[in-house]
Chain A
Amino acid sequence: MNIWVFAEEDEGVPSTGSLELISKAQTHGDVHVFYLGAGSDASFAALGDHGASDVYHFDAGDTLASAPASAAMATLVESADIVLFGAGNMDRDIAGRLAARMGRPVISNALDFDGTDTITVFSEILGGTLGISTEFTAKSPAIIVTRPKAFTAEPTGGVTPTVHTVEMPDTGRSGGATVTERHVEASEGPNLEVAAVVVSGGRGLGSGDKFDMMHELAGLLGGAVGGTRAVVDAGWVPYSYQVGQTGKTVKPSVYIACGISGAMQHLVGMKGSATIIAINKDPDAPIFGLADLGVVGDVHKVVPQLIEALKARS
């Protein structure tokens, strides 16, 4: 099978999500990677090590990449069976444009896919309570947008891939967007997506300054701090903290949900955690449906007590 994967550079190396997709793809056939970023021999080697047989490198520079990248991909993937994307913002931007350009459907939120002649995609809806199988009935390629962490990145010891340079296509009006500034909003402590412990806060915290308490607790546990869409929308924490359908997906050993009711959009991003602890004053909060330990109580009392207890141990 002929599979293409969209991969993206993150701080000089292929993003973890990209390597997850390539690892999955190489179990189905030859993997061709469209790689967006500055590129380097080390990056290309990492792509090969995870199963890429060749790499099409595209550097969009300061042009917003979605329009030119999708135009370039449309020519390259014409005879592909499957084109795989991750769930990142640029993944979605390119997948959507590519699909419209080629006149093909996209199936989003994929947790897995299978098939040879007919491709079937597995996904979950309604906060992960219903599993659905959707079949592509259109002409190939099947364009699939996957959920984060649906697959595991595994080095295969593959060979160094052949690297081709993709030229910037002329996309006229569509390609007229320029990136003029890039800002990184650093968060304290370990990376949210790989931390063994995640301490997340929701609206129930009452105000943004209560996130100091979340940081203190996370610090004591060597964990990272997350938040719900509601607190991000309220401006209490930046978007990079958001856990959920439209934010990050986390699968830590322990997830501590503080003042989080458990909207479906949030549950999708954390229900894969090994152990879930929830503290909420509403006994009917949906979060208690998933919690291994649910504490019906005031987060402003329980969390400070927990912090003191952990301090006393160290």
Chain B
Amino acid sequence: MPFNILVLACLAYVIFLFLVAFLVERRAAQGEAGWLRSPLVYTLSLSIYCSAWTFYGAVGYAARSGLEFLTIYLGPSLVFVGWWWVLRKLVRIGRQQHVTSIADLISSRYGKSNLLGVIVTVIAVVAATPYIALQLQSVTLSFGVFATAASEGLTPPDKDSTAIWVAAGLALFTILFGTRKLDANEQHTGIVTAIAVEAVVKLVAFLAVGVFVVWGLAGGPGDIVARINASPIADWQLQPGRWVGLMALSAAAVICLPRMFQVLVVENADERHLATASWAFPLYLMGMSLFVVPIAVVGLALLPAGSNPDLFVLTLPLSQGRGGLAMLAFLGGFSSATSMVIVAAIALATMVSNHVVMPLWLHLRPAHAVSGDVRRIVLRARRLSIAGVLALGYAYFAVSGGSAALAAIGLISFVGVAQILPPMLGGLFWRGSTRVGATLGLCLGFAVWAYTLFLPSFGPDAVIPAQVLAEGPLGIGWLRPQALFGVTGMDPLLHAMFWSLVLNTAAFTFGSILTFPSPMERMQGAAFVNVFEADQTGPRGWAQGRAEPEALLVMAQRILGDEAAQSLFEGAARGQGKVGYLPDATPKFVEDLERRLAGSVGAATSHAMISQLVGRARVSVEDLMAVANETAQIKEYSTRLEAQQDELTRTARALREANEKLTQLSVQKDAFLSQISHELRTPMTSIRAFSEILMEADLPPEMVVNYARIIHDEAIRLTRLLDDLLDLSVLENGSVQLNLGLASLPEMIDKALRTAGNTRPERVFAVQRDSAAEAIFLHTDADRLTQVFINLISNARKYCGAERPELRIAVRQKGGRVTVDFIDNGAGIAKEAQALVFEKFARLTDETRAGGAGLGLAICREVMANLGGTITYLPGQGGAAFRVTVPLRLEKAA
């Protein structure tokens, strides 16, 4: 097998994955995810549990210690078969709280404590680094197998440069698809689908090698059984301690590994998928393990002594001259390594950016929480973190030399992440667990793991001196890293797992029992432990009405993006029976908003950002009583009352608004009458005065012409006023004749800009447009729509008070409707006045009497209503902003 074909196949495969991820992302963006979010894809994505460690390492493991490798897959199988106990609760909580990572889960459970988030992040990164190194090593080794077999084609690069190319390529892929957008629920459809494809490839490859070995090299299952009994593997003795311990360890790891948590909880699109995965995932694991022992046995028999059993999957077909099969096996191993690294990098980068970078940044520049562009910062932090995680993995690979057996490294990682299990299970099932307990347990467990297993794994004298390993620090025998408290004769791995988890659990339990949780912890504890209880209208953490909705909108826009934030606020306002984009900042709304933001930046950060606007979270005595009140017999009755009260509150709010509007309208009507008499009288007065002068005889002719012109001008002004009024009343009656036709949006805007240029022509306006987005044809009344545009642009020219006036025209098409935003950089419109600008004769200031009678926006509103669209004021854009929405096709009947 020439090496260059191998490289070519590899590249082609990666490009294929790129295409899959890209197409899926595009379809998902069009809202047609459909089968891409099926239980099948979910189950297949879970298979990142089977990394290269499984694909190559399992055979090596079997060749070294017989059936013991099965424990690594039996443990997770039992966890999934028993999904009703833990996984179901985990997934429900993950979805309800918009959890972004396992660190976020722990931090959120223990009162949104960021310290815990940091600790879990550190544990996860330290434990995952060797694991990522392991994947790089396996890819490098498998390249090496082909390189030694190759005699023609490209010269294969050396080990280090292969690893660095692989690491860089993976970083690029992950950054491209993992951080393209900051999603509200942190799901990556494209990547998940690409990983599902990789899962199929690796299963097919492994089964193909297995079938080839059993039916091609051996004479079927009967022969295999005979060969197993004759091989060195038959001498294997089951060690009860390791058998039980490793099963428990792998069961813990399948929940606690950051990458597993990512696909299991964060990427879960529907809870029902978990039910399917409960049997389908064990089936997948079984398929991956079925042929491990046959491959190991046949490999040991056929290949020369001393060949690396970790690579039997590749070397066995190669030695039999089956280049194609070996290539398939190579792609399978490549798939398992890449998929694991991609997901692990995303999961770790999310944790690092949400729990380390963002809090630091908020701490250093608190003012930017509200005004800066948070999305860019978060995405950049994630990209850097992905590169950082892969660089760490590569560094570990380069330093350790990649020599140890694959299985050993994987198990060390497993013990590391298993430290998260006690606080996690405690948090899910025990309301009494506290932040202090969890912190103590995690720190102690992590320290014991590092001291007894991780650091000694580098070898004697690498980090821990050989003398300490043999005699203990300062000669204290009972502190020897591999024989803690005098426990000798235990397998080092089991020893480390036993002591770290025992001490971790003990510290967690006693720490929790002895300390008292803060109100926030108790609320979150109740929300987590009782997640299946129907009524989740628990106590609220935010005090009423401290936050300015507009400020909240501005912040939400920075994190969620303009469109998502605006539609969220609009929906909430509608739910409260209001129109526009600004709902009341009720505690419920603020809490919902916090959860949405938590889906992007994590619970602790989101909580911190909201509290900068709302003030400190206040938990009242009543709230605490609600937490404590376990018997809540009257709950149902009060729920009904509450529903009624909600209804009443909504109605009252609507009524209050209507009333306010009516009062203002009545004031306005009076103003309207006096205004209109005034507007009519001024020209009338001058007409009368000048016509009286004209009636006198013997005036010089030039004076006659002059006076006649004045009379004429004033009459035109009168006519225009009356025309506007007439126009308005026609529009209001809906009896207007529309002249429908196909019209080009950019042309209309061009025309409007030209015409509006006559208003205050001395001002220079910078106009920002996006011609790509504007290229839309509308079926509408072009003249009327242009009239609206002219009005908005002239208003901006008249009233924008900025030194360097700017007008941004943003066009967006969404579901058959086109929105055109006109945003200037002036002072904007005060909140009280926003509801009034569309009323007749509404003038914000008396001094700006730059012509017109205050009918412009009122006419605009009526025109838009006739065109089947709307015109609204868009708050929170840093200036006055109007949004015009028109249907793409206006039908005659409308």
Query: Do A and B actually bind?
Result: no
**Which residues in A have some Cβ–Cβ distance to B below 8 Å?**
none
**Which residues in B have some Cβ–Cβ distance to A below 8 Å?**
none
